[in-house]
A = this chain, B = another copy of it.
Amino acid sequence: MYSTPMATPDTRTQLLDAAERLFAERGFRGTSVRAITDLAGANLAAVGYHFGSKAELLAAVVRRVVEPINAAQCARLDRLLARTSDPTVADLVEAFAGPLFDEMPGGDEGGARTSRLIVTIITDPAEEARTWTGPSEVAVRDRYLAAFERALPDLSQEELWFRLRGIIAVTAVDRIQVYQNPPASLSPVAGEAARRWAITYLTAAMSAPPTGT
């Protein structure tokens, strides 16, 4: 089963790798099973054999990507809450958004591709792309929601909820294709710079005073 660990990867993981890349680049509907199996060097029927269907392959891909991110978000929140003082908004933003940038499996171009996969899936209108959310994601989200609530006591639940989703949205910035070809041909955001810019941006945004009625 795991006979040769490094020589040629499992067909199953090669399918996962190929699907991860193609789903990130072209979305769920824009990626054909044939394109995946071609890139993976596998037979067309391999997807059906190893995963059952294209949708279940997507679920497996997303699970593999999301789990370490979720674990990192959880661990960092644990560490913050173990301290004596309450975490600040900046702490929470960093702990929540940081793993979205750097908790990426190896072989990725600075996390840019994996980050794009998440965003592509999240914003995909196909309903198959929306059936993967598990209970652990919800648990982490609720814990952060509670922590932000304590750090921002004046904010209504609804507005806090809006702002939390804003964090995800800003992570999606490299998916924004309007205004393509930046004015003076600005270089595409490098991974590390994007991470720091986003955290600055989001900390300020989350710390904004409540919107008056």
Residue numbers of A with Cβ under 8 A of B are 25-27, 29-30, 119-120, 122-126, 130, 133, 137-138, 141-142, 145, 157-159, 161-166, 168-170, 172-173, 175-180, 182-184, 186-187, 189, 193-194, 196-205, 207-211
Q: Are B205 and A162 in contact (CB under 8 A)?
A: no
Contacts of A119 in B (CB 8 A): 123
Q: What are 25 sample pairs from A and B whose C-beta atoms fall under 8 A apart?
A: A25-B125, A26-B125, A27-B124, A119-B123, A122-B175, A122-B176, A122-B178, A123-B172, A123-B175, A133-B178, A138-B183, A142-B183, A158-B186, A158-B189, A162-B201, A164-B179, A165-B176, A166-B170, A166-B198, A168-B178, A170-B205, A200-B208, A202-B205, A204-B207, A204-B209
Q: How far is the CB of A49 from chain B (nearest CB, A)?
A: 26
With beta carbons under 8 angstroms apart, the residue of B123, B138, B211 that contacts A196 is: B211
State the oligomeric state as a number of copies: 2
The binding surface of chain A is classed by DSSP as helix
- Bound state CA distance, A137 and B198, in angstroms? 25
- Bound state CA distance, A196 and B197, in angstroms? 24
Q: Are B141 and A183 in contact (CB under 8 A)?
A: yes
- Bound state CA distance, A197 and B212, in angstroms? 9
Contacts of A157 in B (CB 8 A): 184, 186
Contacts of A126 in B (CB 8 A): 26-27, 30
- Bound state CA distance, A207 and B193, in angstroms? 18
Q: How far is the CB of A6 from chain B (nearest CB, A)?
A: 32
Q: Are A177 and B122 in contact (CB under 8 A)?
A: yes
- Bound state CA distance, A191 and B183, in angstroms? 32
10 interchain residue pairs of minimum CB distance: A204-B208, A205-B205, A27-B125, A29-B29, A200-B211, A169-B169, A123-B123, A165-B176, A201-B205, A165-B173
